[in-house]
Chains A and B, each alone.
Chain A
Amino acid sequence: MRTIRKLIGLGLAIFFSAIAFAASTTAVFDERALREECSAFSEAGMRDCLTEKSKNSQKALSQAEEKVVDTLSKWDEDSKFLQLAKARLSASGKAFAKYRDEQCAFASSLGGGAIGNALEIRRLACVTELNNRRAAQLRDAVSDLPLK
């Protein structure tokens, strides 16, 4: 009987962690899926569609960063660790922005000598994906901190 209970418990644990994993990973579209979604428009319309998505992703990232700072302020932990976490968040934000810009310049360069909107479409889709992933990461990172 105990073995059966253990197995059920283990099964449930795997099930719920799979759901949690799926929720944290599938909510963010990859850059190709973003381009396919915006392919509902002409190439000129695609650029506008991805410009909008990119702006929204930047807003979502800023909100996630504010949420992390706010959560850290309420963290039930010694203030020196709280300050350390805030400093590390700031450093990682700067490093992320640098990485994102370089990575998306690389993604754009894979369009070669293409004309029109192609290179910008690639860059914007890349920026949107990375911003959204970072926002999701930040939200997840502080979701289970013990608060005061």
Chain B
Amino acid sequence: MEVQATPKTGFELWQDGLNKAIADDKWNTWDCEIQVAVNEYNRHLSGTAGYMPLDWHIIKAMVWVETGANKTEWKSRPIQIGNSHDPGLTSLLSGAEGGDLILPPAWKGRLTIGSVRTIPAHNIRAGIGYLLMKLGSYEYRSVPSAEFKVYEVTIKAGDSLDKIAKAQGSTLDTLKKLNPTAAVLRPGQVLKCQKASVQRVITGWRHLSTTLIAQRYNGGGDPLYAKKLDYALSLMSKGKAALCEQ
């Protein structure tokens, strides 16, 4: 009796396609661009609490999983950020969710919705920026202004710490920190003051894993996303990468 072969699963079919990729140089097209971009982000974020440098191979695995060299979008949106029905790019560029802290200064204002949708180097940078934005933890804290000078103010009748903070361009937290004993204010009393504002700051980073990327970047759309990334990374360790000028 003839035994019928079990049809391949979606994942096995995808694996077959990718197995051919390691021998084809076009799948390495974005290696150098990815390395440059990842280095820019790593330099920019290295001073933030608990930042672990991003491995560029993760991003290479993402462009393989997101697009792959056989799709036409490979030449415009390799990491797929900025598609229609995609709120992620606006979140990154608006800065309201921490994107302004993540983007290296040289790229602020250069990345636009139009450029990210059409220029691969911009698309890759926006994709990395979005991923890092989702990995960060943020809090609003009092941040002293670039001018660190501490000066004195004299209390008038009817003043409160809140009123003084607003009038002096400072924050309640800053005034409390500088004047720990000033619980009750009296006219004529002298307080220390410093210009400050409440700003969003990066307070830590989530541990990067393929599962986290599947949840935070892909939003669970592809149930096999993490498995695909793991497989792409395992193939990369056996294949070759493009040679890039450093």
Contacts and interface: CB of A to CB of B under 8 A. Distances in A.
Asked whether A and B interact, the reply is: yes
Interface of A: 32, 35-47, 108, 110-123
Given A38-B10, A39-B10, A40-B13, A118 B89 contact: no
By secondary structure, the A interface counts as helix
Interface in B1-36: 9-11, 13-14, 17
A115 B81 contact: yes
A35 B223 contact: yes
Given A39-B14, A42-B71, A114-B216, 13 more contacts: A36-B9, A36-B224, A40-B11, A42-B67, A43-B66, A111-B221, A113-B87, A115-B83, A116-B217, A117-B221, A118-B219, A119-B219, A122-B221
A114 B86 CA distance: 7
Contact of A42 (B64, B81, B223): B64
A119 B217 CA distance: 11
B71 A116 contact: no
10 contacts: A35-B223, A39-B222, A43-B80, A45-B68, A110-B219, A115-B86, A115-B87, A115-B218, A116-B86, A119-B85
B220 A110 contact: yes
Contact of A114 (B97, B221, B223): B221
A117 B67 CA distance: 10
Contact of B67 (A35, A43, A111, A112): A43
B80 A36 contact: no
Interface of B: 9-11, 13-14, 17, 64-68, 71, 73, 79-89, 91, 97, 127, 130, 134, 216-225, 228
Contacts of A123: 85
A-B pairs with lowest CB-CB distance, top 5: A114-B219, A118-B221, A115-B88, A111-B219, A116-B80
B219 A44 contact: no
Contacts of A37: 10
Nearest to B88: A115
Given A40-B13, A42-B64, A43-B67, A113 B224 contact: no
Contacts of A119: 85-87, 219, 221
B129 to A, nearest CB: 11
Contacts of B79: 116
A43 B89 CA distance: 17
A119 B81 CA distance: 12
A42 B66 contact: yes
A110 B219 CA distance: 8
